[in-house]
Amino acid sequence: MLQEDRITIVRYPDARAGQPIPQDDICNANTAYATVINDTMNPYAPFDSRVDWKVTQWAKLCGPTSTTFLDLLGINGVHEKLGLSYKNSRELNKIIDKQLPGHPKFRCEQIVISGEAFNIFYRDVIKCVKALYGDPDFADFLVFTPEHHYADKEQTIQLFHDMHTGKLWWDTQKKLDQHKLGATIILIIILSDKTQVTMFQNKTAYPPSRCAHILLAYLPTTRLKHITNKASRLRTIANLYHVCMGRILAPLEEAGLDGIVMKSGNGILHRSHPLFSCFVGDYPKQVLATGVKVTECPKCDIPPDELGSNATPFEMHNLDIVLDALAAIDHGDIKFVRACREAGIKPIIHPFWEPLPYTNIFQAVTPDVLHQLYQGLIKHLLGWLAEAFWCNRYTFGAAEIDARCQRLPPNHHICLFMKGITSLSRISSTEHTIRGLLDFLYLAQYPCHSSKVLTLLMEALNFFHDNKQIILHAAWHYMLMIQTFGMTDNYNTEYTEHLHIDLAKDVYRTTNHKDEFVQMTQWLKHKEKIIRHESVKGVPIQKLVMGYGAMYFCEALVRYVAQLHHPHEATTHRHLKDLAATIHLPFHTLPVYHVVKWQSVDAQGHSDLCVTVDSAHIKPRHAATSQTGTDVPARFDTVLINDGTGRSVGIEGYHVGQIRVIFLIPQNSITTMFPTTIQPPKHLTYVEWFTRFPLTPDSNHGMFKVSCVVQSGKRVASIIPVANIHQSVHLIPKFGPVAPRQWTSSEVLEQCNTFFINSYINRHMFVTIR
């Protein structure tokens, strides 16, 4: 047991678990990769130059079809002038296929169901696991043994975040240790999603897993219209799915039981046991995978007519009883069907999970934040809101909802519906119900849960249910699943929603739509190999004042410069004004920026593939580029600013401001404005302030109220470092009984004076300002 940063960590008691296998030499995977390329002098090898490599990247990652790229190379002189090592797509593909290492190849096999043959394209699952496990980008992040984390020395408040802190890994390690001491467990997450690969043809594909992230297979789909009996047709479709999945995951049976030697990205060997642990998919996929009937819970045995009751979950489906029923297939079809019905599942012939060791499919089904909460609970929430407005004597029902949505200011996390949102079902509601629902939504998405937070999660759910008769039964399972698998980010179906665009729809569009799966697997293989291989203009200050609305820009900047010159002086407003009067600004234009982004490196660690998780926009009104003649309105976003004392949780040290300008002081001016002992921050911003947070939020909706800070009729503004900006913030105008119809989304931050801080904009804001 040890304590790190106030967190008490309890290691797994058997020190042999997860230990490496002794070996004579260790070869780093990066070194091994360089050896395959076989050229230590040319960093772009096997390509001749940087241009050669960059054109290849563009061709394989930016989506042009092979025909388009071939047309480009066919232009006389392009190949020679660019100095390319290939003359056409065929030669480029040969270089990629023969000289670049990559993920395992796809294989194609045929499966016959009810007299119809289907092709399945899939990879060797063991080779995929080895490829991920041996990736040097992951070496520093691998965890080999489970742990218990606590927020206190007394170990009374347990923490759940990454999967090694959940109960599943710990419990499975104990079971495995009874047979194989020194085992290293690798928990495998399978993500399954069905996607329409084209809007113009009836072609669909399942990309079930890009588990951290490798696309494992494209599964066939079919309607089997020639089977006229509906029950037989659905049963056959289910059997096709399980036969395909069983073929793909079959190697996990022996490897999970006996273990296989695997080398991590830093060259260390472990006896690893890859175990199927999580199935991530929406409700139809959960039903398909578990074999339960539609309208039933894929996790527990609660009767369908009690799904809406305010009751704790029933017992989890009994896996032993289900396995006994599946074994009845050897006693004839009638007994098999009867046994499956009594066990509460459909008569599936050898479901894919049946032989997999240490696997309980009913436990493996994980919460579905995207579909259950966002597309389930929130759908009802919007309906209740519309109904609530009909009950308000000051408003006009759906029209008032639409009016308010049309007048919300923009934000990175907000999708503005300028035509309204009220094509909704009509269900009664109360405002307290909404509060409980939103609390549950964001508590469920915390990146780290303590046992106390999980208690709050269930209290929010109870609060919600006490006010509403309709509830999604699946929400009751969230607490147990978080304790089992860690935070919901570990198994969020939102990833599959994004991945099926990258791995199915976009890939399909690169093909000629004939024998598309052969082309799709080839294109994806090239893309993975390429990924693995791995101006600012000056703006006049006068325009900053008039066009950007930074009315007191020069005054604010000289005050900031004066403060940098006298950082330790306790200056009064008058003294600071006198100091500022001595400052000369040796420029008339400044380089400015129009967006600040917060980015996160993609899950595979590729530094050139970043995802924007937040942004704030700053742009003046400007003429439209189209022929509409309508100017594009200005946008100056609001942000949450840390004064240097703010922490990850709590409002202390945070203030709300509206950004007007982001700029930098030119380097040649810095040398004349500051001594060599002072180096100002590179990026600065002009911010107009809102009032400080009140001591308590509004008692009804839990949001804090702020207003524009005005002195002598002027907005109060300052220059601060961009680094002080914590994140974007969304402000909801205080509309009053009826939203003023003259207000607009683009100008409401200037038209309204008082706002509520939207703490439900995303989970990070929800955590920060609670």
pLDDT of residue 10: 93
Tell me the average pLDDT across 448-461.
76
Three-state SS at 661: strand
Model confidence at 723: pLDDT above 90: yes
CA distances from 609 to 181, 577, 764 (A): 40, 47, 22
Lowest mean pLDDT, pick from 34-43, 109-118, 139-148: 34-43
Tell me, what's the pLDDT at 23? 77
**What confidence score (pLDDT) does residue 148 get?**
93
Of 25-39, 141-155, 625-639, 684-698, which gets the smallest average pLDDT? 25-39
How many CB atoms within 10 Å of residue 361? Answer: 24
What CA–CA distance (Å, rounded) separates 669 from 365? 61
Q: What does the alpha-carbon distance between residue 28 and residue 599 come to, in Å, rounded to a whole number?
A: 29
The whole-angstrom separation of Cα 484 and Cα 209 is 21
Percent of the chain with pLDDT over 70: 74
Q: Is the pLDDT of residue 547 over 80?
A: yes
Q: Which of 7-21, 131-145, 305-319 has the highest mean pLDDT?
A: 7-21
Q: Residue 68 and residue 513: Cα distance in Å, rounded? A: 15
Distance CA 238, CA 634 (A): 54
String of DSSP letters for 333-402: HHHHHHHHHHHTS---SS-TTTT-TT--HHHHB---IIIIIIIIIHHHHHHHHHHHHHT-TTS-THHHHH
pLDDT at residue 621 is higher than 70: yes
DSSP state of 206: B
Residue 313: the pLDDT is 59
Beta carbons within 10 angstroms of residue 582's beta carbon: 10
Helix (H) or strand (E) holding 110: strand 107-113
Tokens of 749: 């931050």
**pTM exceeding the 0.85 threshold for the entire prediction:** no
- pLDDT tens, residue by residue, 199-216: 333 344 444 433 457 888
CB proximity list for 182: less than 8 A, separation 6 or greater? 16, 17, 18, 19, 271
- pLDDT surpasses 70 at 330: yes
pLDDT at 7 over 70: yes
Beta bridge partners of 275: 187
* Start-end of H helices in 15-102: 29-37, 50-61, 66-73, 78-82, 89-99
The per-residue pLDDT for range 155-196, each reduced to its tens digit, is 998 988 888 999 999 999 999 999 888 899 999 988 876 543
Question: Which residue, 365, 375, 193, is CA-closest to 286?
Answer: 365
The pLDDT value given to residue 176: 93
Report the pLDDT value the prediction gives residue 570, as an integer from 0 to 100.
59
Cα distances (Å, whole numbers) of residue 654 to 201, 701, 727: 52, 20, 11
pLDDT at 520: 66
User: Which amino acid, residue 652?
Assistant: E
